[in-house]
Amino acid sequence: MTLASAPGAGAYAGAPWFAGIVKLAAAAAPGCAVSAILDCGDEPGTVLAALRTGLRRVRFTGAAETAARLAEIAGHYGATIEGPGAAPALDLLDARDPETACRTYLTGNGTIG
């Protein structure tokens, strides 16, 4: 399972917050392989903070030259920088029943968001 943050969440919520969410999710599903990607928008400083926090997949939507430099730095952490173009994800922002939405999405019985 891959947990993906909302666009730009690294900037307004912070890398430590997201890392905490990932840790809670992994603890709640001990038999499930959990990976995560924090969207840092176009803020290179937020990407660096995410790497220092221990996150290993980060999305960056800024300039290509900056992305290349960040990818080089990420390599030293064993991390990757992904570009724009979010993978399909479940967005619970407008879900009336988030628990049912999660169950539906995770069991593959429908697509939401």
pLDDT tens, 42-55?
A: 999 999 999 999 99
**Bridge partner residues of 31 (DSSP):** none
Give pLDDT, residue 112.
45
Q: Which two tokens stand for residue 72?
A: 């080089």
The answer to whether 22 and 3 are in contact (CB under 8 A) is yes
> Cα–Cα distance between 4 and 22 in angstroms, integer?
10
- Which of helix, strand or coil describes residue 46? helix
Q: Which two tokens stand for residue 5?
A: 């943050």
Q: pLDDT band for position 109 (50/70/90)?
A: low
Which pTM was predicted?
0.79
